[in-house]
Amino acid sequence: MCGRFARSSTADVIMREFGVKKRLITPEPSYNIAPSQDIAVLSSQGEKQLVTCRWGFIPSWAKDPATGYKMINARSETVAEKPAFREAFQRRRCLVIADGFFEWQKGEKKKTPYYIHLRSGRPFGFAGLYNIWTAPEGERICTCTIITADANELLEKVHDRMPVIIPKNKEDLWLDPGMHDRDILRGLLRPYPAAEMEMYPVSPHVNSPKFNAAAAIKPTAG
């Protein structure tokens, strides 16, 4: 699964890296993002838009926003057919902007947190789905989930799943609202190449989402 990630790039870097023409938000770096928090999302409805969504997908039929806590991730193997995500997979795909993510390795007495990022140091987009949920009181909220797949050779040392990272040359295809071929779309939901990623242990302070500082993604002695 993916339960915590970081976005350390500035808004200007994100605009440049993803070719964003329309910026509706100016996200500040955040180093320990947790479910239910607002995240920076890139969608495409005629043009690329950088917007804010709440992490935790709430289907249109849900009455309780707490439903989102159960849907921070969607499995790549079932996302195209699962009722909660099926329509969004066809029509509301997005990229969740990140620079890296955290995973915890279970030990005999404790869990060790690791930070995983691209060797290039560039920001990237998780494969995501979004939905505009209308609360009973009428408030409209953008909510989002991150798609996961089997772990690659690097990540499988600590966990059996990992978030799907869309390769740079496939981002426009994933975002294209006119693309409805499920086989092509599912073909993008693969583990990212391990050789292009790096992983190292970080401070156990990241166990608390309140610890949101640049030190959260600094390596510690493993």
Residue type, 158: V
Counting the structural domains of the chain, the total is 1
Domain-embedded: residue 211: no
Domain-embedded: residue 207: no
What is the token pair recorded at 129? 């789905």
Domain-embedded: residue 114: no
The active-site residue out of 53, 103, 142, 144 is 103
pLDDT of residue 139: 85
pLDDT of residue 56: 96
Domain-embedded: residue 81: yes
pLDDT of residue 110: 87
pLDDT values of the chain reduced to their tens digit, one per residue, 222 residues:
789 999 999 999 999 999 997 778 899 999 999 999 999 999 987 788 999 999 999 998 888 888 777 899 999 999 999 999 999 999 999 999 999 999 999 887 889 999 999 999 999 999 999 999 988 888 899 999 999 999 999 999 899 999 999 999 999 999 999 999 999 999 999 999 999 999 999 999 999 999 999 999 999 975
pLDDT of residue 4: 96
Catalytic residue status for 28: no
Residue 86 domain boundaries = 5-27+35-100+121-194
pLDDT of residue 60: 87
pLDDT of residue 21: 79
Domain-embedded: residue 159: yes
Domain-embedded: residue 95: yes
CATH of the domain at 15: 3.90.1680.10
- DSSP string for 70-94: G-SEEETTTTTT-TTTHHHHHH-EE
pLDDT of residue 54: 95
Domain-embedded: residue 112: no
By the 10 Å C-beta count (0-12 exposed, 13-18 middle, 19+ buried), 65 is classed as middle
- DSSP string for 97-158: EESEEEEEEE-SS-EEEEEEEETT---EEEEEEEEEEEPTTS-EEEEEEEEEEE--TTGGGT
Domain-embedded: residue 78: yes
pLDDT of residue 222: 56
- Predicted model pTM: 0.95
The active-site residue out of 2, 53, 94, 144 is 2
Catalytic residue status for 17: no
